[in-house]
């Protein structure tokens, strides 16, 4: 009787079975592929995907393509006629570290999305590849948390200066690419040092949080709001020219001036507004322009809006 031919392209023998045993015993997710066709998935990976056997998996899927949501930070859209695209990407860049996100449907929402460090190794003398997936979900969650913390103001929960600078540069490039207006509002709480000296820093912190809440509730969802430092805040308003941004600033100025911030009897803010200064404007120039407008508002008596 002729021996059964295996997926490796030679007769199924003891060595072949040993290789399969090693693949299945490995706690890391492993697949073998020709680059165009998925040939084998180890049992660890099959169980993770919700299947017991390769044959059962192949009845529903021809590739793990359908489980991939992103590769190296870029969204991935699978296509029935291009299921080898993600594999070819790994093969063409074998020395690179790749991070692939997978999503499952048979588990809880918390466990559904996982992150994996993926590497590709060519089989000697065979046109085949072993692709390994190392689970780094907890590491990625920690990294994302640290990144979020680095860009978030711990007191108010909005962007800090670092986070805002990053967003500002991105939005300026977008505005310049599409020729759309964009404006920057900078505001400062008037006589804030006197509030801290009179009522204490705890009251001062409460006022910062209350102002943050008030402004957040009265700007658009896609406006970018940040604490610039101390008692100073910034608002980036995409798709808005400086004239309409000044109207928003006036609305916020009036809201703050008429809101009860007990125990402080009266609280006001000064506002500086600017738009893109020139066609090839940089973030630093826009910030300097808004800061200049804010200085004019404070020099002019505070509790007012100035536009540059």
Please give the structure tokens belonging to residue 91. Answer: 């093969």
CA atoms 69, 72, 77, 82: torsion sign:
negative
- 8 A C-beta contact, residue 152 and residue 170: no
- Contacts for 144-153: CB closer than 8 Å, 24+ residues apart: 153/226, 153/227
Query: Whose structure tokens read 């592929």?
Result: 33
Rounded Cα–Cα distance for residues 92 and 238 (Å): 39
**Is residue 231 among the annotated active site residues?**
yes
- 8 A C-beta contact, residue 297 and residue 305: yes
Bridge partners for 270 per DSSP: 188
Cis peptide before 263 (omega within 30 of 0): yes
Rounded Cα–Cα distance for residues 19 and 296 (Å): 75
- 8 A C-beta contact, residue 59 and residue 44: no
Backbone angles phi and psi of 307, in degrees to 5: -125, 140
- 8 A C-beta contact, residue 242 and residue 226: no
Q: Comparing C-alpha atoms, which of 247, 240, 252, 251 is closest to residue 276?
A: 240
Please give the structure tokens belonging to residue 224. Answer: 């970018």
**Axis crossing angle, helix 201-216 with helix 192-199, rounded to the nearest 10:** 130
3-state secondary structure (DSSP) of residue 1: coil
Of 55, 231, 250, 279, the active-site residue reads 231
Rounded Cα–Cα distance for residues 230 and 10 (Å): 71
Catalytic residues: 231
């Amino acid at each position: 009787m002729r021996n059964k031919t295996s997926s490796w392209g030679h007769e199924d023998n003891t060595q072949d079975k040993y290789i399969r045993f090693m693949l299945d015993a490995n706690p890391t997710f492993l697949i073998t592929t020709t680059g165009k066709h998925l040939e084998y998935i180890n049992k660890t990976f099959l169980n993770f995907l919700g299947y017991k056997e390769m044959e059962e998996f192949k009845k529903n899927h021809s590739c793990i393509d359908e489980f991939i949501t992103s590769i190296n930070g870029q969204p991935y859209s699978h296509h029935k006629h291009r299921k080898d695209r993600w594999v070819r990407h790994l093969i063409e860049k074998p020395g690179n570290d790749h991070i692939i996100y997978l999503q499952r449907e048979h588990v809880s929402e918390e466990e559904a999305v996982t992150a994996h460090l993926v590497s590709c190794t060519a089989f000697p003398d065979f046109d085949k590849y072993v692709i390994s997936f190392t689970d780094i979900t907890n590491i990625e969650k920690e990294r994302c948390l640290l990144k979020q913390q680095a860009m978030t103001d711990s007191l108010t929960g909005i962007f800090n200066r670092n986070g805002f600078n990053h967003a500002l540069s991105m939005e300026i490039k977008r505005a310049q690419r599409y020729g759309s207006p964009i404006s920057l509002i900078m505001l400062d709480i008037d006589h804030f040092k006197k509030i801290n000296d009179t009522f204490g820093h705890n009251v001062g912190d409460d006022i910062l949080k209350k102002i943050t809440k008030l402004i957040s509730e009265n700007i658009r969802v896609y406006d970018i709001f940040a604490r610039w430092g101390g008692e100073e805040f910034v608002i980036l308003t995409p798709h808005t020219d400086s004239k309409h941004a000044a109207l928003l600033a006036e609305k916020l100025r009036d809201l703050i001036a008429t809101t009860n911030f007990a125990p402080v009897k009266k609280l006001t803010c000064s506002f500086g507004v600017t738009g893109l200064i020139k066609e090839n404007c940089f973030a630093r120039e826009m910030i300097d322009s808004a800061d200049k407008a804010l200085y004019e508002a404070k020099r002019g008596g505070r509790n007012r809006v100035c536009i540059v």
